[in-house]
Structure 1
């Protein structure tokens, strides 16, 4: 596909904002996928290109948090392996069934997360006693999250961070850092499929990668320095926005 310099500049700017949002609360695809569709990228290619550029944004945020000792790769290897396996399985199952069946349930979960952070979440910058062990989390919750991302996807980052706050007792900044590492794993598993079997708009994707990397770095910095003051309101906004987007997709006007 051919893109003018103006369109590439717009895609860069959209990816920059999306990377910032994604690093903090997830949901950057709400911006990048419509942008790709609006400039004429076919739907299947838009999804593949979005996964390409989004993977680099998530990786940038994860590296930022790793370098600041907020998350450790070796300590999370069991969870990462479970997420990768779940993501691959989700992609395989997606080929056999209709993912739109989940549309009835996902908005409810996203709105529930938004309501939790808006009205009930307190002291999110403080660590609490975990409700389940790291091993049990890796064996039960992690593969389900990976499966969901490979099978459907919207809201995965929010689900990951919320599960770590509620079940592992992590402060919101640490939960966000872990969610980015987890998200990178599931994204790369899905990206491998798109590189091998999907069509990617490489020029647009490359320009958007640059925007994603810059935005993700800035977003990770905001999350690191701002904590709950920054993460909480953006998570609420993105959860409600994603739920509306999923419903619109199912029941367009």
Structure 2
């Protein structure tokens, strides 16, 4: 449901734009944009469903902008991601539909542990993602398992989705970090759009704040995509590890301390 909200103070909108600009850039590089934007939207006093729905609205512009930039640069092999798009869309729809119906406490406690494990895995394997390797899974079973699983997670909860996709593409399909990041952003865009469609029926989408953040996300996505294409794996790697650890610490705090 679309909600035209003009109740925020004028100075909030520039802050929302800057927040989304930074989140869109970081999300394209390593994931974790939702770690920035969701708490900001929650601080506005909205319900969790409204905050998540508006977050999907604005995040769709960031992932869409990055995907468009990658496509124009010829970096996306659409045949290679077709099954991923289909299964991710299905998983995201189920995840978004489940919001408010299932407890999130288990995920809140499990996800930070997985993120820390991912960061440690990258740190102890210094060449991981710098060069392509032979895949451990074929494309169809890979996208069936992780498209449904990560798509569901993104629709239902979200933080760390991009990091999970990137690690899976590197570790199981043997991609380098540059190609893995490109494919990750396609999957992020699919899950964002599908989740948004579901949220339109179960929550309010605050359009005015969402559009302000969408502008920031759009330019952040472009900046991040250019950095990925021009700087490649050696830039993505340290950013990926840092973002994964920051997300993990934040989620551990939320799950066990606050």
Counterpart pick for 2:16 among 8, 11, 15: 11
Name the residue aligned to 1:24: 29
More deviation, 204-213/230-239: 230-239
Alpha-carbon deviations, 1:114-146, whole Å to 9, x = none? 112223140523211111111221222222121
CA distance in 2, matches of 1:120, 1:74: 30
**Matched position secondary structure for 1:177:** helix
Shift of 1:201: 1.5
Tell me which of 189, 201, 205 is aligned to 1:196: 201
Q: TM-score, normalised by structure 2?
A: 0.92
CA distance in 2, matches of 1:108, 1:121: 21
Q: Which runs of 5+ in 2 are unaligned?
A: none
SS state at 1:105 partner: helix
Partner of 1:49: 54
2:112 corresponds to which of 97, 102, 107? 107
Aligned counterpart, 2:76: 71
Q: What residue in structure 2 maps to residue 232 of structure 1? A: 237
Contact 1:7 1:39 in 2 (8 A): no
Q: CA deviation at 1:94?
A: 4.1
Answering whether residue 106 of structure 2 is matched by residue 132 of structure 1, we say no
Q: Distance in 1 between matches of 2:35 and 2:159?
A: 9
Q: Against the structure 1 CA distance between its residues 42 and 98, is the aligned structure 2 distance closer, same or farther, given a 3 Å change threshold?
A: closer
Deviations 1:202-244 (A, max 9, x none): 1110000000001110011111111122111111111111112
In 2, distance between residues paired with 1:123 and 1:246? Answer: 25
Query: Aligned-pair distance for 1:35?
Result: 2.1
Does the 8 A contact of 1:118 with 1:232 survive in 2? no
The unaligned stretches of length 5 or more in structure 1 are none
SS in 2 for 1:170: coil
- TM-align CA RMSD: 1.7
Equivalent residue pairs, number: 253
Deviation readout 1:23-75 (Å, 9 max, x if unpaired): 10011112112222334444432221111101110111111112222213343
Whole-angstrom CA distance in 2 between matches of 1:94 and 1:34? 17
Q: Quote the residue 1:176 is aligned against.
A: 181
Give the equivalent residue in structure 1 for 2:65. Answer: 60
